[in-house]
Amino acid sequence: MSPTAPQALRWDELVGAPIQQLPTPTVIIDLPTLRRNVAQMAAYADSLGVTLRPHWKTSKCAQVGALQLEAGAVGLTAATAGEVEALAAAGFTDVFWAYPPVGAARVATALWAAARTRLIVGVDSLASAEPLAEAAAAAGTPIEIRLEVDTGLGRTGVDPRRAVEVAQALVALPGVRLEGVFTHEGHVQGVGADPARRLATGVAAGELLVEVAEAIRADGMPLTSVSVGSTAGARSAPTVTGVTEARPGTYVYGDENQVAIGTVAPEDTAVTVLSRVISVERGDPALIDAGIKAMSADGSMHGDGRIGTVVSDGGGVVATGHEEHGFLRGATGLRVGDLVRIRPNHACGLSNMHSHVVAVEDGVVVDIWPVLGRH
């Protein structure tokens, strides 16, 4: 007879239990807040006349993606091969893979997924597109592609001045069809908490992408989509006339970095990490069981190195972390065994650290959601 896991680790039997009975560290998603975030972003995109294709890497949960589609999203965005495979396997029918399909494994994933769902793949050069085009042509499986344009982040993306030239080369490839252009205006977050600067930076990114799209069209190449994507830029880049699609991701959960720069209100943060005090021998800091393996080590927009902010009684910040130890500074009145709830710096990085999250309502466990497509 195989051994049976301890009762505390039988997650399905915790549905209906108060969160105080959960093992720690555990990611908690407040279901009413999540649903409100989904509805508000869907209504906002609709008010702009742009389609919504949320970036699924924030949650990696099929249940969250389903809620976003039910609210009106046209499809989902993915970053990794694992996410694309998970979405296709789960039956999602419209996926944009916003990452260059470089390497034989990614090309194989694209062909596999394109046979099961509508798949659009992002490229930023002829070199990143050629292997996919060759494989798609050989398989008789045409694949739609989008050209990524660097609008200021300085990561992947073609130089806008070369976009027409690269688009011409892409259009000449067999096996692929140029569907649109896209950008990730992630540099909007980098300007910080000044709303005027965020607005100006996001609008400039949207305008530049639209200019590129118009130049490509003027050269005789039709484009359907002009797609922008970030939570920090969601209130700016999609407002530009000519943008057709928005791809925010973090909005669905919120996180401490978005709160720090003012793009998400504290009350709109659906995600926290439930953690337990394991030692107060140092006084300050207290030690908790949420270290970087539970919180991720993503940097803080506060500029102070914290890995999370306590939002439960006692306050304080998780100033730093070892693998399984979090150093909680500035808290008051904590004893060994006490529970704290922490708002993580970056929801997307957090999700990838966990095999599941716990959906709660009024402090009671409603469901356990697997996290799919993890690295």
pLDDT level of residue 157 (50, 70, 90 thresholds): very high
Is 106 inside a domain boundary? yes
321-326 mean pLDDT: 97
Domain that holds residue 48: 31-252
Is 116 inside a domain boundary? yes
Q: Are residues 177 and 61 in the same domain?
A: yes
Is 257 inside a domain boundary? no
32-56 mean pLDDT: 98
Is 3 inside a domain boundary? no
Average pLDDT in the chain: 96
Is 5 inside a domain boundary? no
Q: Are residues 117 and 80 in the same domain?
A: yes
* Phi-psi map region of 107: left, alpha, beta (phi>0 left; psi -120 to 50 alpha): alpha
What is the pLDDT, as a whole number, of residue 325? 98
What is the pLDDT, as a whole number, of residue 235? 97
Examine the fold and report which residue of 252, 285, 313 is the final residue of a domain before the chain moves on: 252
174-192 mean pLDDT: 97
Q: Are residues 174 and 240 in the same domain?
A: yes
What is the pLDDT, as a whole number, of residue 2? 53
Which tens digit of pLDDT belongs to each residue from 241-268? 999 999 999 999 999 999 999 999 999 9
What is the pLDDT, as a whole number, of residue 11? 86
What is the pLDDT, as a whole number, of residue 315? 96
What is the pLDDT, as a whole number, of residue 297? 84
Alpha helices in 30-186 (DSSP H): 31-48, 62-70, 81-89, 104-114, 126-139, 163-171
Residues 26, 371 contacting (CB under 8 angstroms): no
**Total domains in the fold of the chain:** 2
269-288 mean pLDDT: 97
Is 1 inside a domain boundary? no
pLDDT level of residue 375 (50, 70, 90 thresholds): confident
Cis peptide before 285 (omega within 30 of 0): yes
pLDDT level of residue 7 (50, 70, 90 thresholds): low
Is 235 inside a domain boundary? yes
Rounded Cα gap, residues 138 and 175, in angstroms: 8
Rounded Cα gap, residues 236 and 331, in angstroms: 37
Examine the fold and report which residue of 194, 219, 252 is the final residue of a domain before the chain moves on: 252
Examine the fold and report which residue of 252, 285, 317 is the final residue of a domain before the chain moves on: 252
**For tokens 């439960």, what's the residue?**
312
Q: Are residues 353 and 294 in the same domain?
A: yes
**Is pLDDT above 80 for 6?**
no
Q: Are residues 46 and 21 in the same domain?
A: no
Q: Which of 17-31, 137-151, 171-185, 297-311 has the lowest mean pLDDT?
A: 297-311
The CATH number given to whatever domain includes residue 216 is: 3.20.20.10
Contacts for 199-205: CB closer than 8 Å, 24+ residues apart: 199/235, 199/236, 200/236, 201/152, 201/233, 201/236, 202/230, 202/232, 202/233, 202/235, 202/236, 202/237, 203/236, 203/237, 203/239, 203/240, 204/151, 204/152, 205/151, 205/152, 205/233, 205/236, 205/237
Is 86 inside a domain boundary? yes
Q: Are residues 329 and 196 in the same domain?
A: no
Which tens digit of pLDDT belongs to each residue from 120-156? 999 999 999 999 999 999 999 999 999 999 999 999 9
Q: Are residues 163 and 42 in the same domain?
A: yes
Q: Are residues 164 and 290 in the same domain?
A: no
Q: Are residues 205 and 280 in the same domain?
A: no
By percentage, how much of the chain surpasses pLDDT 70? 98
What is the pLDDT, as a whole number, of residue 12? 87
Residues 74, 99 contacting (CB under 8 angstroms): no
Q: Are residues 281 and 206 in the same domain?
A: no
Q: Are residues 152 and 59 in the same domain?
A: yes
In this structure, the number of other CB atoms found within 10 A of the CB of residue 140 comes to: 7
The CATH number given to whatever domain includes residue 357 is: 2.40.37.20
Q: Are residues 240 and 269 in the same domain?
A: no
**Is pLDDT above 50 for 8?**
no
